[in-house]
Chain A
Amino acid sequence: MAARQAWVATLFFMIVTLFAQVAAAQERHVAIDLVPESARPAAGSTVTLAFDSRPEKSWHGYWKNGGDAGIETTLEWTLPAGVSAGELRYPVPGRLIVGGLMNYVYEAPFAQLVELAIPAGLAAGTKLPIQVKADYLVCTEEICVPETQTLATVLTIGDGAVDPATRARFDGWRLKMPRPLGSPATWQGAQGQFRLAVPFPASAAAGDVYFYPAAGGAVDYAAPQAVTRDGDRIVLTTKAAPGTAAIGAIAGVLATGDGQGFAIRAQPGVVAAVEQASSGGWQAAALAFAGAVVGGLLLNIMPCVFPILSLKALSLAKSGGNEGAARREALAYTAGVVLVCVALGGILLGLRAGGATVGWAFQLQDPRVIGVLLLLTAGIALNLAGLFELPTPAFASRSGTSGAFATGALAAFVATPCTGPFMGAALGAALVLPPAAAMLVFAGLGLGIALPFLLIGFVPALRRRLPRPGAWMARLRRILSVPMFLTALALTWVLGRQAGVDGMTLGLAATLLAGFGLWWTGRRQETGRERAWWPAVPAMALALIVVVLVKPQAAVSAPSMAGVEPFSEARLAALRAEGRPVFAYFTADWCLTCKVNEKAAIETAGTARAFADGKVAVLVGNWTDGDPALGRFIEGHNRAGVPLYLWYPKGAASPRVLPQLLTTGMLTELPGGTT
């Protein structure tokens, strides 16, 4: 009987327990597992714990700042003596607008991480029971439920080994954590507007940019955020929360799409408004347009354009007083200039949108383009100097609309390198204006260049003031050849900068070859021979081939660092075993400080020489995509992120952590200096 009673009691207890569990499971809308990265952490180390959370379908959990409503997770730990838990770290959240209220949430499985510090001096095999009570809020679009779960795990002191599968899971979760951006951001609240400027290299990709403030009082959560990439910064504009002026530094996460984001901290400061495509934007565009016209006008007296313009003026003077022809030519010239300016501008904007860092006159960054231009200007100069005569079909001095169009196109193409000093502001504006407005600026530049010629074409009085054709014209031509030769000289210098002495010599050889061909042609023209052009054509063709063969020389000012290898802990260990000093640095495309250091201190001739002399191995860790293995290594050196510069002197046990701002002097001292 007693046995039977006990049986029934057990069965009853089991049913009740089961029922209670089912009921509990039904009440909870998020399943949470507490997962340690290593179940056998070493004494004196830290172990990462994950709250592996899986919300039910249509339910969501909240970020640290829940947005308009929502509550952060609170934890109450029960830990063995000496063990301490760090702050709860949240992955980059998502956005959910319900009934006009913004919620910062997780709708898919997510994991929050906590670092647990294990005290030193514990014997292997010591059990550490870990318990935590988590209070959190879960909601659907209709209802909200605060939930409580008590989670527990037992750690055993051991060797700290991590199971590869567990490591992979943790690495996946770590990738979702915001990475520290390092560079300080700036924010400003003005006239109800909140503007945030975050240093972010123009070359680094960022999509679906959104700023999640860590605390209230900064922005109106539900207001849309307008994002502009303005060179090496991201400018974000949105509606400010009331009373924004009273708050100081603002922390938060700048999400850049695909669950990636950066932890940033913004100090109050001045953030100039970046004009959006609004009336203000068009006002700025109109101003920039006016500036571009004036700039273009000024370009006419620059050595780049003046010779070409004078060619045209000359042909017009020659052509006499035909009203209609003069107007047509003026219009065709204008069309040529404007079209090329707009086309170059379009290519520039396209490249810029594609993420490439290009500036105005980008087409002159390719030595082959410079080479072709050199041949062209040298040819024109030789023509002006009287070496040969351009036959009627050649474009530059030909009258008629197509000749005028081609001249205009050429003028615009060669004028662009001269735009720098005059056009800086207008072109700078063009790059941040909406594309349509930017194109207007480029068109304005073209119009400015064409303006004097338009005037000559349309104002007969002006044209009448032009002197009659005569012997003076030949003299003027010779004089005009001088600025053209100077242009060729300038282009030769540019070629030398870009392609080195070899490239420049090749360019000059090609010019010589073309000049020889043209001289021969000139000789034949003088003697009235048929087919005067046959010597020049192969010479020009050969010259073109030669200049196209010119290769850019990367090493003009940026010495390539010999022996730079990608970082891995195995490679580092191998190099140190060889007894070589190692300079290891960690960088990322989105880290502006890293880029500055690389350009100013690491990739310099002085550093390269010092490192080569000292047989220093250089290892580069690229943390752009947040590689968790690198992340662990970086964290191991008490840094939250990049830049991190480590110097391992020969035979030293531990590296020296270098400051985050480097100088060439600092680096060149390393190989020779002591530990």
Chain B
Amino acid sequence: MRLLIPFAVAVLAITPAAAQQAIGKPAGNFRLTDADGKSVTLGQFKGRPVVLEWNNPGCPYVKKHYESGNMQATQAKAKAAGAVWLTINSGAPGKQGYMTGPQAKSFVTTQKAAPTAYLLDPEGRVGKGYAAKTTPHLYLIDAAGRLVYQGGIDDRPTPDKADVIGARNHVLAALGEVKAGKAVSMPETRPYGCSVKYAD
């Protein structure tokens, strides 16, 4: 809990202006604390594409992508393409998926995940600012800071690990199009998974 106080103050300092992010518009800036207690802002990554991934380790749909190795592979490919990967947890204390900094670090280690940072958002301010609805829910922000993709990780809305194979990975597809200087062909898709466990 002690960890929460500076953190909440930090979040209060910078919150996205709009309640919802629109494709093609500058993505709302934010400041969150990572698993190590360090402050991270979106603005510090300007000039590089940024992927936002909403996470809840208890959600079966998140487990599908971590236990199958799909999420880690996507993270690795995105980073190899020069992108920054921010995993965000907007779970409220007492709800499924809520984690403290050390728990988040342990999750990253045991899952062999490779995000640039794992960020904690227990008050759900950034989550609501981005209208993140499910876990997973993914966003891609281009090097100029504009939102170019929001939606699901892929086009197979099931909890079945076998469905990872053959699915269209929307995030990598969008990232590839951005790298090639093209417009993102599917800028918005329906996210699927568990609902983000926001504080009421």
* Chain A positions near chain B (C-beta within 8 angstroms): 68-71, 74, 98-101, 103, 135, 137, 139, 142-146, 216, 242-243
Contact with A along B19-61 (1 / 0, CB 8 A): 0101100000000000000000000000000000000001111
A68-B134 Cα distance, complex, nearest whole Å: 8
Contact B195 A68 (CB under 8 A): yes
Residues of B within 8 A of A101 (CB): 133, 195-196, 198
B158 within 8 A of A: yes
Chain B residue with the shortest CB-CB distance to A68: B133
Whether B134 pairs with A99 at a CB distance below 8 angstroms is no
13 A-B pairs (CB sep. < 8 Å): A68-B133, A68-B134, A69-B192, A69-B194, A69-B196, A74-B158, A98-B200, A99-B195, A101-B196, A101-B198, A144-B60, A144-B96, A216-B190
Which of B128, B133, B157, B160: most chain A CB closer than 10 A? Answer: B133
What CA separation (Å) do A216 and B197 show in the bound complex?
21
Nearest chain B CB to A552's CB is how many angstroms away?
57
> A146–B63 Cα gap in the complex (Å)?
11
Report the bound CA distance from A98 to B20 in whole Å: 18
Is B115 located at the chain interface by the 8 A CB criterion?
no
A69 in contact with B195 given A142-B95, A144-B60 (CB within 8 Å): yes
Main secondary structure of the interface of B (DSSP, over half): loop
Contacts of A145 in B (CB 8 A): 60
Complex CA gap A68/B133 in Å reads 6
B-side contacts of A99, CB under 8 Å = 92, 124, 195-200
Known: A68-B134, A142-B95, A242-B22. Contact between A100 and B60, CB under 8 A?
Answer: no
Neighbouring A residues of B61 by C-beta, 8 Å: 144, 146
On whether the beta carbons of B195 and A144 are closer than 8 Å, the reply is yes
For the complex formed, measure the closest distance between the CB of B78 and the CB atoms of chain A, giving whole angstroms.
24
**CA–CA, A100 to B133, complex, Å?**
9
Chain A min CB distance to B135 (Å): 9
B47-85 contact mask (Cβ, 8 Å, vs A): 1 or 0 = 000000000001111000000000000000000000000
Rounded to whole angstroms, the CA-CA distance of A139 and B60 in the bound complex is 11
Give B82 Cβ to nearest chain A Cβ, in Å. 28
Residues of A within 8 A of B95 (CB): 142
Closest to B157 in A: A71
Is B193's beta carbon under 8 Å from chain A? yes
A63 to chain B, nearest CB (A): 14
What B residues does A146 contact at CB under 8 A? 60-61, 158-159
Interface centre among A69, A101, A143, A216 (most CB of B within 10 A): A69
Which residues in B have their C-beta under 8 angstroms from that of A135? Answer: 158-160
A69 touches B96 (CB 8 A): no
CA distance A242 to B147 in the complex (A): 14
A residues in contact with B59, CB < 8 Å: 144
Task: Determine which of A100, A103, A242 lies in contact with B20 in the assembled complex, contact meaning CB atoms within 8 Å.
Answer: A242
Instruction: Mark contacts of B120-150 with chain A using CB atoms, 8 A cut-off: 1 yes-contact digit, 0 otherwise.
Output: 0000100010000110000000000000000
* Chain B residues with CB below 8 A from A70, complex form: 195
Q: Which chain B residues numbered 5 to 26 have a C-beta less than 8 Å away from chain A?
A: 20, 22-23
Asked if B196 and A139 make an inter-chain contact with CB atoms under 8 angstroms apart, the answer reads no
Q: Please name all residues of chain B whose beta carbon is closer than 8 Å to the beta carbon of A100 when the two chains form the complex.
A: 124, 128, 198
Q: Does B188 contact A (CB under 8 A)?
A: yes
* Min CB–CB distance A190 → chain B (angstroms): 17
CA distance A70 to B135 in the complex (A): 11
Residues of B contacting A103 in the complex (Cβ-Cβ under 8 angstroms)? 195
